[in-house]
Structure 1
């Protein structure tokens, strides 16, 4: 293993830079040349590659986003795109690749591994929607961002006596809404894993108002109904003025939490070690408070389990 390439693919996540830093410095420590591939698989196909050194990753552990930038790449999903990538890998004498991203990025890593290129996947996605790992890099930073927003929204909602729907990311996975809703003291949490019970939401708004509560926060995972239509229905059934706050891509940015920096650093370090050991087609993860690696096929096949125990706790505490 003389040369390793690293790229970030798909949606950016806080902690990606910490992982890049770990990959670069662990490679240099082991006398391995390290190449940064810019703009994900699109950059791999086009040869947008430059050698990295210690200075390349100075002062980035605390920065959100990714210094390598990222992009979606439909061409890479074709046989022709894979062939172009393999040609670039050969031209640049890349012996192994470390891919930072989510489910789609891992599928690309799997294809390269099957084509004979040693690859390791590092899970970076704020949605926390990968079933094989307890947490993905960037998830807890996104949760902290949402909790901070809920606190600010509660202030203004209390001043006006309003209900407020806070829409967060997570189209098919409700973890951001669940974790942030519990930590932020939301009265109701609406997630794709559970059927919407709008009457239950309305009852909580009315009961809260009857005991003198000045606000009501409803955490909603994106894609689970239309936030504005839900707000209209709640307003009609309860008489409480109901506003909508869509946090959007603010959840992707910001300084990564200590936890995200730590697991990113440990996963990046271990990913390089696995390549040096001759391993390929592996996925890094965090399970039972430890860094793990497993076959990337197995990682992709595991469905995400919803934490219903936490969901029930949130319901009990929001009576």
Structure 2
């Protein structure tokens, strides 16, 4: 293999640039040519491809977002769209592709692998919802963004003696809500992996009031439902002054933490190693601080699960 490509797809995540940098420089170190593909699979189909050099990734390790940009593409889900992408890979002589993104991005990589183009998936998503890895690129940065926001909201909640519902991202996964809620001492943490017990939430609020607690923080994962609707339910059930904050896309931005920069560098470089070893249709990850790789199809089949011990602890500490 002499020439590889790299693209980012789906939602952006802090640390993607660090992963791109690692792919490019690791590949060049091994005398490979590297081609960047802009705008994900849409850019691949359109031939938005350019050669990258060592200097192409200079001064980006600390930047959020992705210098290769990202886009979602329904067309690439079709056989015709995939054929267009393959035509561009052949045109540029790209023999292997590294895809940085989430499960949707991995599905595209799997389709290309099935058609004869070796692909390696690098998990980049703030949702932390990819199987086969303890953490995904961007999760730690997003988590710290959420924690900082909740810390500030708690000051206001205390000053005005209010109950706050804070809606965080995560799609159908509750990791951001669980970790942030535990780190910030939330009274209740509502995640899609657990049935919403509204009566228990109300009981906790009432017990807190009875012992003199005048404010409360409730962290709600977006996969559970609307924070505004949940806040209204709480107000109707308790008459407590309730406010709602939806953190939104602020969670995706910002300079990546040291943890995300190191993780992205390790995973990006490892993806190059796998291509050089002749592997295809694999995803890279980290488990117990060791680099691992798994069959991409098996990863896509597995359902995301939460850390049961952490969830139990959050329940025990929020009495």
**TM-score scaled to structure 1, two decimals?**
0.98
Q: Give the match's secondary structure for 1:164.
A: strand
Contact 2:7 2:38 in 1 (8 A): yes
1:36-115 paired onto structure 2 within 5 Å: 36-115=36-115
1:208-247 paired onto structure 2 within 5 Å: 208-247=208-247
Contact 1:7 1:68 in 2 (8 A): yes
Give, in angstroms, the shift of residue 95 of structure 1.
Answer: 1.0
Q: Give the match's secondary structure for 1:214.
A: coil
Asked if 1:256 corresponds to 2:256, the answer is yes
Which residue of structure 2 aligns with residue 13 of structure 1?
13
- Tell me the distance in 1 between the aligned counterparts of 2:19 and 2:229: 40
Give, in angstroms, the shift of residue 71 of structure 1.
Answer: 0.1
Which residue of structure 1 aligns with residue 315 of structure 2?
315
- Tell me the distance in 1 between the aligned counterparts of 2:66 and 2:221: 25
Which residue of structure 2 aligns with residue 285 of structure 1?
285
1:114-193 paired onto structure 2 within 5 Å: 114-193=114-193
Give, in angstroms, the shift of residue 226 of structure 1.
Answer: 2.6
Which residue of structure 2 aligns with residue 207 of structure 1?
207
Asked if 1:273 corresponds to 2:273, the answer is yes
Contact 2:174 2:223 in 1 (8 A): no
Give, in angstroms, the shift of residue 213 of structure 1.
Answer: 2.1
- Tell me the distance in 2 between the aligned counterparts of 1:50 and 1:214: 58
User: Deviation string for 1:249-276 (max 9, x for gaps)?
Assistant: 1111111111111111001111111111
Gaps of 5+ in 2: none
Contact 2:181 2:189 in 1 (8 A): yes
Give, in angstroms, the shift of residue 212 of structure 1.
Answer: 2.5
- Tell me the distance in 2 between the aligned counterparts of 1:31 and 1:233: 61
User: Deviation string for 1:172-199 (max 9, x for gaps)?
Assistant: 1111100010011111000111111112
Contact 1:21 1:265 in 2 (8 A): yes
Q: Give the match's secondary structure for 1:285.
A: strand
Give, in angstroms, the shift of residue 117 of structure 1.
Answer: 0.6
Gaps of 5+ in 1: none
Give, in angstroms, the shift of residue 26 of structure 1.
Answer: 0.5
Give, in angstroms, the shift of residue 214 of structure 1.
Answer: 2.9
Give, in angstroms, the shift of residue 309 of structure 1.
Answer: 1.8
Contact 1:132 1:304 in 2 (8 A): no
- Tell me the distance in 2 between the aligned counterparts of 1:131 and 1:306: 11
Q: Give the match's secondary structure for 1:159.
A: helix
Give, in angstroms, the shift of residue 306 of structure 1.
Answer: 2.0
Contact 1:157 1:215 in 2 (8 A): yes
- Tell me the distance in 2 between the aligned counterparts of 1:208 and 1:47: 59
Give the stretch that moved more between structures: 115-124 or 201-210.
Answer: 201-210
Output the aligned Cα RMSD: 1.0
- Number of matched pairs: 319
Query: Which structure 1 residue ranges, 4+ long, deviate > 6 Å from structure 2?
Result: none
Give the stretch that moved more between structures: 53-62 or 89-98.
Answer: 53-62
Contact 2:285 2:291 in 1 (8 A): yes
- Tell me the distance in 2 between the aligned counterparts of 1:96 and 1:225: 40
Which residue of structure 2 aligns with residue 197 of structure 1?
197
